[in-house]
A and B are shown apart, each in its own frame.
Chain A
Amino acid sequence: DVKVTQSSRYLVKRTGEKVFLECVQDMDHENMFWYRQDPGLGLRLIYFSYDVKMKEKGDIPEGYSVSREKKERFSLILESASTNQTSMYLCATSVLLDTQYFGPGTRLTVL
């Protein structure tokens, strides 16, 4: 079974703080993705990575950056958190165009 873990289920941060969300997978998948999920807006892609040290912008990259130093780990960074970044953040992995496996999500609240 593919296992995708995320560093926290719930996180509360203050405006202006730097926030790190980490995702780790154990299946040697090339592709990793960060989405945010908001009511009525579905899943929106923030960034994805198809190889170590490679990254591509998704649909809503503004205010975020990512890091992939090792194949199994993909980090999402909020350089200066803002209240409009309060959301559910989901990490996913896949092989090529195949099934995406999601982590349990991190519910981030920015006060």
Chain B
Amino acid sequence: GQQVMQIPQYQHVQEGEDFTTYCNSSTTLSNIQWYKQRPGGHPVFLIQLVKSGEVKKQKRLTFQFGEAKKNSSLHITATQTTDVGTYFCAGFSGAGSYQLTFGKGTKLSVIP
């Protein structure tokens, strides 16, 4: 079945440093979504990418979808303590399935 790999599993950064998490799928994705889960909370949708090579920005967050639609990345510029949490990518393979396959997440810690 479809697998979505996400690295790194953990990342500790000093406040103000940049952060990137990477997501790779074993199959071509029809779209990819990113979620953030704060400590003690539930996953909350951040963004969805659909087109090959798509780049979207949300303030300090930049999301990319690879040309082959098999990989994606989330980059945070100048991290803040409010960025703390676990970031998940999740992809749909399409083919009539509504199943979203999640990566295992990257847990970000920000040292003030």
A76 within 8 A of B: no
Interface contact tally, CB-CB below 8 A: 57
Q: In this complex, what residue of A is CB-closest to B31?
A: A97
Q: Which of A12-20, A63-71, A79-87, A101-109 contacts B (4 or more CB under 8 A)?
A: A101-109
B92 within 8 A of A: yes
Distance between B31 CB and nearest chain A CB, rounded to angstroms: 6
Known pairs A40-B104, A41-B104; list 17 more (Cβ under 8 Å). Answer: A31-B98, A35-B102, A42-B102, A42-B104, A42-B105, A44-B102, A45-B99, A48-B99, A56-B99, A58-B99, A59-B1, A90-B43, A94-B98, A96-B98, A97-B31, A100-B45, A101-B45
* Interface set of A (CB-CB < 8 Å, partner B): 31, 33, 35, 40-45, 48, 50, 56, 58-59, 90, 92, 94, 96-105
